[in-house]
Amino acid sequence: MCFCSLVSSFVIPSYIPRSDEDIVSLDLNDASVFLPLAAIDFGAVFYSWIQNMMLDGTVIQEVKHHCMGFLVEAAKQILHRLPENIRLWKSLSFFRPAAVLSQVRQPHSSLELVNLYRGDLGLLHTKHRMVSLVQWNTNEDITEQELWQKVYQYKDASGERAFEELALFALSMLSLPLSNADVERAFSQVNIIKSKLQNCMANKTLAGLLHV
């Protein structure tokens, strides 16, 4: 959504992707998809600044040209990081409660992460097909983690965990970080906790505080 909002300010509307899958097909190296410089929306703050600076037309055009270059480069950098993440995010819908409990099964080939499974794929597929046959007594607000914990804990008539392998695989996939946001957040917390006044803090203490 943020990417589409960014490119909508300088890309001709008919070239703006309409779906996640089409985003990667946008060629930002093709200048023919860009709006004319005069039609680009640089935002209210930009135009207010231009008006207050009282610049002549030539300088304004040069500033707009540089700003345009910045927008294009920013979009290119985002686009460069999108393809793999998009496929991962889309494939994780495979584990949504609505998809799991539906009688209409998504093929395992649609799961980008299925290649990480090291067990019997045939058995995994069979277990996944059988999950919807169980009455789970869930509500509409149940999360993926809550559902798969129920699936893991479920025992059949013989007392065995009938879906243990499937549930563990699903929970392990849902725990994978799809961005570096958590890492960056941890760095920020370290800077707050281990300040200049507490720079001699032991690593064990720092780890404990971060965990808390």
Domain segments of the chain: what residues? Answer: 2-87, 96-174, 183-211
Q: How many CB atoms lie within 10 A of CB 7?
A: 24
Contact status, residue 166 vs residue 128, Cβ threshold 8 Å: yes
Q: Give the pLDDT confidence of 120-175 residue by residue, as tens digits.
A: 878 888 888 888 888 887 777 788 888 899 899 999 889 999 999 888 888 888 88
Helix, strand, coil abundance in the chain, percent, nearest 5: 65, 0, 35
Q: What is the pLDDT of residues 60-91, one digit of tens each?
A: 889 889 999 999 998 888 877 765 566 666 67
Beta-carbon count within 10 A of 106 CB: 16
Span 102-123, average pLDDT:
71
The pTM for the full model equals 0.50
Euclidean distance between CA atoms 17 and 208, whole angstroms: 45
H or E segment at 71?
A: helix 57-91
